[in-house]
Chain A
Amino acid sequence: MIAQFYQAHSDILLFAGAAAVKVLVLLNVIMGFTALLTLAERKVSALMQDRIGPNRASVFGFAFDGLFHPVADGIKMLVKEDFVPAKAEKLLFTLAPFFALVPVLALFAFIPFGDYVMVFGYQLDLQIAQMPLSLFFVLAFSGLAIYGVFLGGWASKNNFALLGAMRGVAQMVSYEVVLGLTLVGLMMIFGTAGLQDMVRAQGRLLFGFLPGWGVFYQPVAFVLFLTAAIAENKRTPFDLVEGESEIIGYFMEYSSMRFGAFMFAEFIEIILVSMLATTLFFGGWQVPWLYDTGFIFPWGSTLPLNHYLVAALQTGAFAAKTVFFSWFLLVVRWTLPRFRFDQLMALCWKVLLPLALLNILVTGAVLTALK
């Protein structure tokens, strides 16, 4: 009977199984990467600042230059006192960390981390949710992350936290507009709002040799996107929401793993922003001149490769690009001072927004002229 059931519903069962496996693997990879990123942040800053950085946490005397620090941090977060201020709105105070963490994690469903792999004749797409409009879902879910900041700040019933929440909402709503507008140009060029389709479109060559990555079509949009994305991510120079020396931040009253969730969400967002920048502007999993069957170089020579090797190369390229952008975001964070609130708003509405609109206009004009 089981066999019969399987026969009848093999499509959907295979789909569900594959999706479950992909979610499990990807979430674990992301979590591991996030843990490493917290260490990387401390190590990169130490490197930039002539320090050694964390290297004390050890297991049986082996410290591996600080490799266990993420674990130690996690344990510390879990065993700390879970403190709720007496005046806080208990329910919302508890919900806020979830609102911060869940939308960020959900966003990974839309990001293609490879083309496809053939497993026993079954074509496994390397993306959790294939949707023709996944770009809009990305924007929608990143909009949900605002609730975490606002509820966290408001429910704490602390004046500093409230200021942080106010700053956070104004900043994220404003920069979301820019973020959305920078992507319009890409949709016009690639003619799709599906992330996988966009990445596939970026496999075409420009002028016969240049990989057709988004950044070559839309360099201005890339700079605007990265700026707006860092602002969405609330990291220096846009970390007014925290501003640890000014208003401490919307999570001021949070402790233990509740605070850990906010912090973790921020680090996951770094990865997310890196992945989005890679997917939209740097060809996603595309390796220059690598196709289904192997390399075809612009000077005519070819290098045929096995299908699995190609898939591994592509996923590896995606990971490498993500790591590069994560590193870049860390370096930016430790280099620049922070904006003031009115300057941040002026930058968004008076500089970035007009530039984004101009970019759409120019893109449209060029596309019409080329037609």
Chain B
Amino acid sequence: MTDRKRQEFAKNWELEKLENGRMVLNMGPSHPAMHGIVRIELTVEGERVTGSDVEIGYLHRGFEKTCENVTYNQCVPYTDRLNYISPLINNVGYALAVEKLLGIETTPRCQYIRVIMSELSRITDHLTCLGASAMELGAFTVYFYLINARETLFRLADSVAGGRITPAYTRVGGLTRDLPADFGQKAAEAFKVLGKNMADADKLLTRNRIFYDRMHGTGAVSKEEAIALSFTGPVLRASGVPLDVRKATPYLVYDRFDFDIPVGSNGDNYDRYLVRMEELRQSVRIIEQALAQLPGGPVNYPDLGVTLPPKEEVYGNIEALISHFKLTFEGVKPPKGEIYQAVEGGNGELGFYIVSDGTGRPWRVRVRPPSFTLTAGLSKLIQGAYIADIIPTFGQINMIGGELER
């Protein structure tokens, strides 16, 4: 804050000295709807927002710098903490970027499993977003219905990856482990719970007059504006732009599945809500198709220079022992070069830009977080709206501090 602004702030804060009926309202970081990690300095005229200044930086951890000091595989657990409600997409995106740098393509089974896990994460992401924004509007019960479904899916992911929100499931060239034998059956059970809870939420919200009035027409952004603000993901699609990384530049095996990209027409919160609801259904469709097509075979790229050999090989074979040592201490060594790989995250395009200098550690890792551009556009979305409109708009933007500030 500049000195002038600080003085003005102190002056406006005094109730007795309101100018033109305006006052400064400091929303966050300790405000129930701001997740404790963002601050909006509002200027309000009564209940109308006449100006806003979104301040971020409360959750900066130095993810990108930390990655420069560890091997490529050691970065994977850090990526969990980017978007901590859809961690598997981050894992997959990062692994894909490093593999692109290496110029390798993983086994078909690995690719299918990565698709399945990515979509599971997308579902948990959307469930959290929808549940939390319903809760912030006062529909507390819906939150618990959706979180119950999320919990079931977290358990499912836990049974595969060994972690609920910090699974660190992928490795360069493969995965930490294969799917458990009963995964298909467990997934079917989980989807039953999901379907039931989603139907409940749908009944309580979609045609609820109060909910509709709160969401419809608030936080609206036009197609052109959304593109100009470089929005991606459900928020962009709600404005009517059918851009989805999974369709636009297919990665993994997404081109083998039949799924739709829902788009909205008004670009308001209600359309964002509907787009997310539909994407949940589409993700379930993708997982069901992937499970039906799931091929057999190994999950790890069969190259001793990329993935760790099996333990019995390490104990019985000198090449495997050497590769195990070198991979563990020096890490995978991609050739010199730089690469950008994007995947469709829960909130939009999640990109990894990696520069390699030929050593076992990345020279630079840069993440393109979808939340960042969305949060940057927040001021525009809430300009002229009511204070109460900030809540659904902010909820539908689904700002995740972990990936926003890294």
Q: Which A positions have Cβ atoms within 8 angstroms of B?
A: 45, 48-51, 157, 159-160, 162-163, 166, 236-237, 239-240, 243-248, 334-343
Contact = CB atoms under 8 A, between A and B. Distances in A.
A152 to B, nearest CB: 15
A237 B15 contact: no
B148 A159 contact: no
Given A159-B15, A339-B210, 14 more contacts: A159-B23, A243-B138, A244-B32, A245-B136, A245-B391, A246-B387, A248-B32, A334-B141, A336-B138, A337-B134, A339-B213, A340-B388, A341-B386, A341-B388
B385 to A, nearest CB: 10
Contacts, number: 85
Nearest to A335: B141
Given A244-B32, A245-B32, A340-B214, A50 B138 contact: no
B84 interface: no
B145 interface: yes
A337 B138 contact: yes
14 contacts: A159-B15, A159-B24, A245-B33, A246-B387, A336-B138, A337-B134, A337-B137, A337-B208, A338-B138, A339-B214, A340-B213, A341-B386, A343-B210, A343-B213
A49 B24 CA distance: 37
Nearest to B47: A341
B13 interface: yes
Contact of B388 (A48, A162, A246, A335): A246
A326 B205 CA distance: 24
Interface string B372-403: 00000000000000111111000000000000
B135 A159 contact: no
Interface in B123-160: 134-141, 144-145, 148
Interface residues of B, number: 35
B339 interface: no
Contacts of A336: 138-139, 208, 210
Contacts of A239: 138
Given A163-B387, A240-B388, A49 B145 contact: yes
Nearest to B134: A337
B210 A162 contact: no
Interface string B24-68: 111000011100000000000011000000000000000000000
Contact of B144 (A51, A163, A335): A51
A335 B204 contact: yes
Given A159-B23, A162-B15, A237 B144 contact: no
B211 interface: yes
Contacts of A339: 210, 213-214
For the complex of A and B, the 9 pairs showing the least CB-CB separation, nearest first, are A338-B138, A49-B144, A337-B139, A245-B136, A337-B137, A337-B138, A245-B33, A340-B388, A245-B32
Given A335-B204, A337-B211, A341-B47, A49 B388 contact: no
Contacts of B214: 337-340, 343
Nearest to B143: A49
Nearest to A341: B47
A338 B388 CA distance: 10
Contacts of B387: 163, 246-247
A236 B135 CA distance: 12
Interface string B9-27: 0000101000000011110
Contacts of A245: 32-33, 135-138, 391
A316 B119 CA distance: 56
Nearest to A343: B213
Contacts of A45: 140-141
Contact of B13 (A159, A236, A341, A342): A159
A243 B137 CA distance: 8
Which of B25, B31, B388 has the largest count of A CB atoms less than 10 A from its CB? B388
B386 A340 contact: yes
Contacts of A51: 144
A334 B134 CA distance: 12
A338 B137 contact: yes
A157 B134 CA distance: 30
Contacts of B388: 240, 243, 246, 340-341
B173 to A, nearest CB: 42
B138 A159 contact: no
A45 B141 CA distance: 8
Contact of A334 (B31, B33, B140, B205): B140
- Name the residue in A237, A248, A338, A340 with the highest tally of chain B Cβ atoms < 10 Å from its Cβ: A340
Contacts of A343: 210, 213-214
A308 to B, nearest CB: 44
A34 B135 CA distance: 26
A216 B388 CA distance: 39
Contacts of B205: 337
Contacts of B208: 336-337
A246 B140 contact: no
Nearest to B31: A248
Contacts of A237: 138, 210
Contact of B210 (A48, A243, A334, A337): A337
B210 A338 contact: yes
B135 to A, nearest CB: 7
Contacts of B15: 157, 159, 162
